[in-house]
Amino acid sequence: MDGLTVKVLGSTVDRFTRCTHYHSEKDIIAIKFHCCKEYYPCYQCHEEHKNHPASVWPKHEYDRKAIFCGNCKTELTINEYLNSQSICPTCNAAFNPGCQLHYHLYFEK
């Protein structure tokens, strides 16, 4: 789906996938949740809009496309995202480095 827009659910506030919870200039990614295979801007959006608990991506699936850059509309693999140093490898847009504080909610350690 590179270059195409994916459906991002939740409490989005703009076309860059910012949400009511995280809306700084650098909050431009959405994450496909392992449990439902749907994109949300953050774990709080998932909690508010789904009736099941979130599950983390297992390490053996880190080659799956599960991160969406709201700036260039590219899907990244989990490995690409985790190794990106908070910069989109496609468009060089800055991602919020603070997202690392929540990795345990999305990705197996």
Structure tokens at 55: 């599950």
Q: Which of 40, 48, 50 is nearest to 12 (CA)?
A: 40
In three-state secondary structure terms, 88 is coil
Query: What pLDDT does 66 receive?
Result: 98
Query: What pLDDT does 101 receive?
Result: 95
pLDDT in tens, 41-57: 999 999 999 999 999 99
Compute the mean pLDDT over every residue in the chain, rounded to the nearest whole number: 94
More confident site: 4 or 19: 19
What are the DSSP calls for 19-70, one per residue?
BSS--STT--EEEE-TTT--EESSHHHHHHH-SS---PBPGGGTTSEEEEET
Answer yes or no: is pLDDT of 4 > 60.
no
State the pTM of this model: 0.92
Structure tokens at 4: 């195409």
Query: What pLDDT does 5 receive?
Result: 72
